[in-house]
Amino acid sequence: MQTLTILGATGSIGRSTLDVVARHPERFRVFALSGGAQFELLAQQCAVFVPEYAVVLDESVAVQLRALLTSIHCATQVLVGVQALCDVASDSSVTTVMSAIVGAAGLLPTMAAAKAGKRVLLANKESLVMAGALMTAAVREGGATLLPIDSEHNALFQCMPEPHDSKSIASLTLTASGGPFLHTPVAELKNITPDEACAHPRWSMGRKISVDSATMMNKGLEVIEAFWLFGISAAQINVVIHPQSIIHSLVNYVDGSSLAQLGHADMRVPIAHALAYPERIHSGVGLLDLATQGKLEFFAPDLEKFVCLRLAFDALNAGGAAPIVLNAANECSVAAFLDGCIGFLDIDRINELALNTVHPAIPVNLDDVLAVDAQTRRWASQIIMDMA
């Protein structure tokens, strides 16, 4: 039986993970859950799965969560803070960690799980974007297993033999839905509202990642993630827009073969694959009936319209601290957009300005990574204040 810590249990990936886990009580036991401000949902999850620990980052949230758990006679202990996240990710009784915290906040507990040799199910792409070399080294040195959860990277993983031979791979093609503004002229994007940006046509996601999908920054971050996961060059990574989200990605081999993974746009599929790997278990998702799907479309991305995707390739090619700078600037600009402080197109502007302006030294350890992240956030906050 696997013993799980689910980081980001109240988010869309966390909820889908618990849905799969509930279908297989003989295989999985929940040790710890973490959440943000949604303490009522976290309490409901604790009541169902009765983990030893629930972790939140804010003491005021912890107070409310403890009171609610007491009222429903749930014995789950509430812990607070980043160190608590790291502790439940590296605890000796834990076999598997679902890393589903959105953004840079997921880096430290994911690194702790890798160093402790856990089976790490990676939905927090920022861990590799910010600290790819350090994270992959921690996986090797800690004897951890890293399994991708993003539907695109999980698809690539499924299409590769294990262990894969990089010499046989010509390129990787990541598919992208194109988000809600695929066919919207650039001139009409200026007045896009947060609610419009979060209305994804295919996937149900949190607001931050939904905005990233609308700008295609999410795909850009996935390009950087693929670089570290699969050990190929940036020039071998391609992106194609596929609005129907049926083909989740392709591996293109040197002999002319291309292998693709297909399925419904439901994150329970890659989650179930990674949870049970190398076995297969029921995910709760029905089989794909191609005859009912209609036309499948594919387009090359417009890098003049989707500036953030171009910036991600630029950051990957620049290397060093550039991916950290881009991720930090993007998190700040997206938060400011969702708060109504800047416009939708300002996200592109701030991210590009950050890459062209913030040039810290190449990080050599985790402290350096966090310092670059903090430096960029201070810079971005000032830029946003000046624009407001």
Q: Is 279 annotated as a binding residue?
A: no
Give the C-alpha separation, 293 to 329, whole Å: 38
Q: Is 10 annotated as a binding residue?
A: yes
Task: Give the rounded distance of the alpha carbon of 105 from its chain centre.
Answer: 11
Q: Is 152 annotated as a binding residue?
A: yes
Q: Collect all residues with Cβ–Cβ distance below 8 Å to 209 and sequence separation of at least 6.
A: 102, 218
Q: Is 179 annotated as a binding residue?
A: no
The set of long-range contacts for 120-123, using a CB threshold of 8 Å and a minimum separation of 24, is: 120/96, 120/144, 120/145, 120/146, 120/147, 121/17, 121/96, 121/97, 121/147, 121/149, 121/271, 121/274, 121/275, 122/146, 122/147, 122/148, 122/149, 122/150, 123/8, 123/13, 123/98, 123/99, 123/149, 123/150
Give the C-alpha separation, 281 to 22, whole Å: 12
Strand stretches in the chain, DSSP E: 2-7, 28-34, 53-56, 77-80, 96-99, 119-122, 145-148, 169-176, 237-241, 247-253, 258-262
Q: Is 92 annotated as a binding residue?
A: no
For residues 331 and 354, the answer to whether their CB atoms sit within 8 Å is no
Three-class SS state of 303 = coil
Q: Of 91, 135, 99, 134, which Cα lies nearest the Cα of 116?
A: 91
Q: Is 340 annotated as a binding residue?
A: no
Give the C-alpha separation, 173 to 164, whole Å: 16
Give the C-alpha separation, 117 to 95, whole Å: 9
Element (H, E) at 372: helix 366-387
For residues 268 and 16, the answer to whether their CB atoms sit within 8 Å is yes
Q: How far apart are the first and last CA of the chain?
A: 53
For residues 149 and 271, the answer to whether their CB atoms sit within 8 Å is yes
Three-class SS state of 99 = strand
- Beta-bridged to residue 4, according to DSSP, are 30, 96
Q: Is 58 annotated as a binding residue?
A: no
Q: Is 215 annotated as a binding residue?
A: no
Q: Is 12 annotated as a binding residue?
A: yes
Q: Is 273 annotated as a binding residue?
A: no
Q: Is 36 annotated as a binding residue?
A: yes
Give the C-alpha separation, 28 to 155, whole Å: 23
Q: Is 219 annotated as a binding residue?
A: yes
Annotated binding site for NADPH: 10-13, 36, 124, 126, 206
Q: Binding site membership: which residues?
A: 10-13, 36, 124-126, 150-152, 177, 200, 206, 213, 218-219, 222
Q: Which residues are annotated as a binding site for Mn(2+)?
A: 150, 152, 222
Q: Which residues are annotated as part of the binding site for 1-deoxy-D-xylulose 5-phosphate?
A: 125, 151-152, 177, 200, 213, 218-219, 222
